[in-house]
Structure 1
Amino acid sequence: MNVSLKNIDAVSGIVKLEIVKADYAEQVEKSLRNFRQKANVPGFRKGMVPMGMVKKMYGKHVLAEEVNKLVSENLFNYIRDNKLNILGEPMPNETEQQPINFDTQEDFEFCFDVALAPEIKIELSKNDKLPYYQVAIDEEMMNQQVDAYTANFGAYDQVEEVEEKDMVKGTVAELENGSPKEGGIVVEDAVLMPSYMKDEAEKAKFIGAKTNSVIVFNPNKAYEGAEAEIASFLKVDKEAVAGITGDFSFEISEITRHKKAELNQELFDKVFGEGVVTSEEEFKNKIKEALAEQFVPQSDFKFLLDAREILVQKAGELQFADGLLKRWLLAANEKNTPEKLDEEYPQIIEDLKYQLIKENLVKGNNLKVEDADIESFAKRVAKAQFAQYGMLSVPEEVLANYAKDMLKNKQTLQNIIDRAVEEKLAAWLKEQVELDVKEVSAEEFNKLFE
């Protein structure tokens, strides 16, 4: 078999595969023998059908199948072995491909169009200046996080008198003329929080009430007819809420109040691990460090967005095999239409251009992502996820196991690989250019993405 590439121009070519009988004859014969062993033909025992009859019945089908296998394997082997950086997939050639006749031909020639990635050369230096935004952790952000930790690690106490944010438990019963309604709604162990009531007058009925008190109130007024809240509270369907407009009694059996944790060593140990911080000042500084660390990936993401413009500019005008790429895009997506593709194609090319630039920089500067990098990145993702729930001192073993489970998902694995590559690219770019470091507030930083 002979496989060759004919360059049409710098970004397209034709891969030609020339197949002769010697390339496929042995495999075709083997396949036909297998068919003979399995064939059920009236008048012949299984496996005893004459080979001539087998060839007549299955020969063309087997020949076509084996030749197509050869074409597929050798086409992609050629692309891989010759390190052709093709875009999309090879497409059947429309000009040089001759008709194929498996009835009469012994030798075959297949031609495929390939779109080749353009050559990219980018040079960066310290003369290139790019902004890098660092988020300043202010007192408000730090105090909000302190409040979150004191709330998360707080406790629940049983109290005797209701305050607005307390959780009140008891039995609720539907009333009729001031007495329990026969066959009416009764919910034991019902739970409400006065703070969620929208009507101030109804809310006020609960404030100051004590355990074993009986409150008469109107749920429809209290929640201003909100179906979801009322249905959940009274354990009824949403459709029934509209017909529930009367008073209910609520006999209080239990009042629970959340008490924030104190800023002491016990809290410090729960948040950061035993003995890691030993004072309120250290605790707050550690929180600032953790918050700043959480913003680094976002700062790098913004940095790469800003770097894109200069990288695309330095790459200059890149040529693409537009006609061939459009053919492939139409074939790859049945929902595409020529009109829709013409509209979307400019953006597709812009995104493709930047993707090729990134790949070029990663490959050209040996920015490899090893297994250790992937595992490390996955653990950082896991750590960040735990941190969202106030868990900052998760044991290394737990992080490692959590990360390992994450990487079992192919989509998650690919996402982490992509992010790890971009992290390495961002780190490399920072070393090549001059950084114009700008310290901004979280609010200002978020506005940069609007």
Structure 2
Amino acid sequence: MATVTRENIGLLNDKITVKVSQEDYLPNYDKAVKQLSKTANIPGFRKGMVPAGMVKKMHGQAIFADEVLKTVEKELTGYLQNEKVEIFAQPLSLEKEAKNFDHNNPTEYNFDFEIGLKPAFEVTPLQDGKTTLSRYKIKVTSEMLDKEVENLLERGGKNEETDKVSSENDFLTVKFEESDEAGNVLEGGIQKENAIKLKQFSAPIQEQLKGKGKGDSIVFFLATSFDAAALHDILHDLGFHGHNDADAQRYFKLTIEKVEVIVKRELNEEFFKEVFPKDDVTTEEAFREKLKSEIEKYWDSESRNHLHNELFEVLVHETPIELPKEFLKRWLQQGGEKPKTAEEAEKEYPGFDHQLRWTLISDKLIRENKLDVSFDELKESARQKVMGYFGGAAAADGAEWLDSYLERLLQDEKFVDQTYREMVTQKLFDWAEQKVNVKEEEVTAEEFAKLPNKHHHHEH
């Protein structure tokens, strides 16, 4: 009769030995042989009339090994379920060499496995008002509002070709040709057409370009002609995806092929309705008030995300959890689709450890506090997503079309799973936010943008 024994071999790390004898696997072996004899196609024998001895001769070794391993797996799984052992991932085999199975000589076999045990822990940062975090209030200033109005008027405007470069907002269609310092184009060098705003260049280059028109050229040194963000984008456009500083140590000849000026929209009722089609906005005052409200919503959302990211980091780094690190590193090596080296597992482990701690914490909090998402909540969230995708068109086409689309969407397991995880994680943060001290602090948008944001993504 099969036996399963267990011994501790390290922190949250046990060895399990499964011992199986002939009586455990031979009945299934004989049954599998008989089943194959009924279905096998072997020359010289009618289907269903192949002798069991012939099946054993041809396939016995493979069937035997398969049935022994199936029996071991069944005993191991049954033990873990019956004993309610909380483990990470799957047990790892400790067998260094393949077993020498011999179906002509059935015997007793021992198989050793190791398991990593999930730890017991308490989420201490949420206890007794221990944690204090800031919720930042970003004040929407008249300057911010003016800038957004100008951006909207510009985005809603149209480009018209003009003769000369005159404004930092002009769009230039240009040709970049790699050259030497004197502007001699290098044979085999980089050549690329691009559309770029004048203000993306550094101030000295802007001055060189102003007053120039179609066909005019300048020569510039790439590294000093853009700010860091614009340089990164230009390097990417030129085919340098790694953004190595050495890539920017080049001269380029720039030839203007077209100059376009943006003709902004007029600030009138037609424009108001294009920006806010669902609202009855007819005056500039009402437009600015509505726009201010939307900007406040945006910054409130950003502030909330920042708070939740800070809460995430506190929970992960300040909740004391012991982990079987050496087991988990071995699991990283062996447990995936593609085996990893010890060096690869070591390098990958910190990020894995970080996410694993969050999974343990979030699972515990969701389970213990009965945080869940009903199907009706999920369906409504999906409806709002669809409305966001298609805007007013979704409602205008009628509920029948929308309901049909939703029904198909909710049959997509990947979409449903992702939506559920997003929603239950949001519920978790909303709940956890009530368990810490939150102090409100007013800052400018510029100050908020400079705040450290250690973590940008968390999901259950």
Is TM-score (shorter-chain normalized) higher than 0.5? Answer: yes
Instruction: Say which is worse superposed, 353-362 or 415-424, in terms of deviation.
Output: 415-424
- The residue aligned with 1:272 is 276
Q: What is the CA–CA distance in structure 1 between the aligned matches of 2:392 and 2:139, rounded to whole Å?
A: 21
Percent of residue pairs identical: 25
Q: CA deviation at 1:283?
A: 2.7
Aligned to 1:68: 69
CA distance in 1, matches of 2:436, 2:197: 57
Q: Does the CA contact (< 8 Å) of 2:132 and 2:439 recur in 1? A: yes
My pick for the range that moved more, 427-436 or 399-408, is 399-408
Q: Does 1:427 align with 2:434?
A: no
| SS of residue matched to 2:122 | coil
Q: Which residue of structure 1 lines up, in the alignment, with residue 183 of structure 2?
A: none
Which of the numbers 265, 290, 294 marks the counterpart of 1:290?
294
Unaligned 5+ runs, structure 1: 170-189, 207-216, 233-244
Deviation at 1:350?
5.0
**CA gap 1:199/1:159 in 2 versus in 1, 3 angstroms:** closer
Q: Partner residue of 1:11? A: 12
Q: Tell me what 1:35 maps to.
A: 36
Partner Cα distance (2:135, 2:308) in 1: 11
Distance across 1 between alignment mates of 2:274 and 2:87: 54
Q: Which of 86, 102, 127 does residue 129 from structure 2 map onto?
A: 127
Q: Which moved more, 1:340-349 or 1:439-448?
A: 340-349
In structure 1, C-alpha distance between the alignment counterparts of 2:165 and 2:72, rounded to whole Å: 79
Normalising by structure 1, report the TM-score.
Answer: 0.65
1:6 maps to amino acid: R
Relative distance call for 1:101 and 1:430 in structure 2 (3 A) is same
Partners of 2:2 and 2:24 within 8 A in 1: no
- Cα gap change, 1:256 to 1:436, in 2 (>3 Å): closer
Do the aligned residues in 2 keep the contact of 1:17 with 1:109 (CA within 8 Å)? yes
Q: Any idea what SS the aligned residue of 1:88 has?
A: coil
Give the corresponding residue for 1:153. 156
Q: 1 CA distance for matches of 2:423 and 2:5?
A: 35
**Residue 360 of structure 2 corresponds to residue 356 of structure 1:** yes
Give, in angstroms, the shift of residue 36 of structure 1.
2.9
Separation in structure 2 between the aligned mates of residue 73 and residue 372 of structure 1, nearest angstrom: 39
Residues 1:204 and 2:211 are matched in the alignment: yes
Contact kept, 8 Å, 1:300 with 1:426, in 2: the verdict is no
Corresponding residue SS for 1:436: strand
Superposed displacement of residue 66, structure 1? 3.0
What letter corresponds to residue 204 of structure 1 in structure 2?
A: G
User: Would you say 1:311 and 2:315 are equivalent positions?
Assistant: yes
Q: For 2:113, what is the secondary structure of its paired residue?
A: strand
Distance in 2 (CA, whole Å) between partners of 1:289 and 1:94 is 65
Q: Give the conservation status (yes or no) of the 8 Å contact 1:203–1:222.
A: no
Query: How far apart, in 2, do the equivalents of 1:268 and 1:141 lie?
Result: 18
- The one-letter amino acid of 1:131's match is L
Please tell me the residue identity of whatever aligns with 2:136. Answer: Q
2: distance between equivalents of 1:404 and 1:137? 42
Query: CA 1:344/1:79 → structure 2, altered by over 3 Å: closer, same or farther?
Result: same
What letter matches 2:138 in structure 1?
A
Secondary structure of the residue that 2:88 maps to in structure 1?
A: strand
Match for 2:446: what amino acid?
Answer: E
TM-fit CA distance, 1:338: 3.6
Checking the alignment, whether the CA contact within 8 Å between 1:270 and 1:393 is kept in structure 2 is: no
SS in 2 for 1:427: helix
Q: Deviations over 1:149-196 (max 9, x none)?
A: 323333567999997677899xxxxxxxxxxxxxxxxxxxx9999969
Cα displacement (A) at 1:119:
0.3
Counterpart amino acid of 1:303?
A: L
Cα distance change of structure 1 residues 19 and 142 upon mapping to structure 2, 3 Å threshold: farther
1:89, distance to aligned residue in structure 2 (A):
2.0
Contact 1:31 1:62 in 2 (8 A): yes
Give how far 1:361 is off: 1.5
The residue type equivalent to 1:424 in the other structure is: K
- Whole-Å Cα distance in 1 between the matches of residues 11 and 357 of structure 2? 16
Residue in 2 that maps onto 1:218? 215
**RMSD over aligned Cα, in angstroms?**
5.1
AA matched with 1:311: L
Match for residue 235 of structure 1? none
- What is the distance in 1 between the residues matched to 2:50 and 2:267? 89
Contact preservation (8 Å) 2:137, 2:440 = no
Counterparts of 1:319 and 1:223, CA distance in 2:
60
Separation in structure 1 between the aligned mates of residue 210 and residue 309 of structure 2, nearest angstrom: 50
Are 2:339 and 1:332 equivalent residues in the alignment?
no
**1:432 aligns to what SS in structure 2?**
coil
Deviation at 1:446, TM superposition (A): 2.4
- The verdict on how the C-alpha distance between 1:11 and 1:151 changes in structure 2, with shifts beyond 3 A counting, is same
Question: Taking structure 1 as reference, are residues 303 and 6 closer, same or farther at Cα in structure 2, changes over 3 Å only?
Answer: farther
Determine if the alignment matches structure 1 residue 89 to structure 2 residue 96.
no
| Partner amino acid, structure 2, of 1:114 | I
Which of the residues 136, 139, 143 maps onto 2:138? 136
Task: Quote the offset at 1:445 in angstroms.
Answer: 2.1
Structure 1 residue 293: Cα displacement: 3.1
**Which residue of 2 is the match for residue 58 of structure 1?**
59
Verify the 8 A CA contact 1:374 1:416 in the aligned structure 2: yes
Deviates more, 1:48-57 or 1:347-356: 347-356
Shift of the alpha carbon at 1:117?
0.8
Provide the C-alpha distance between the structure 2 equivalents of 1:277 and 1:194, rounded to a whole number of angstroms.
32
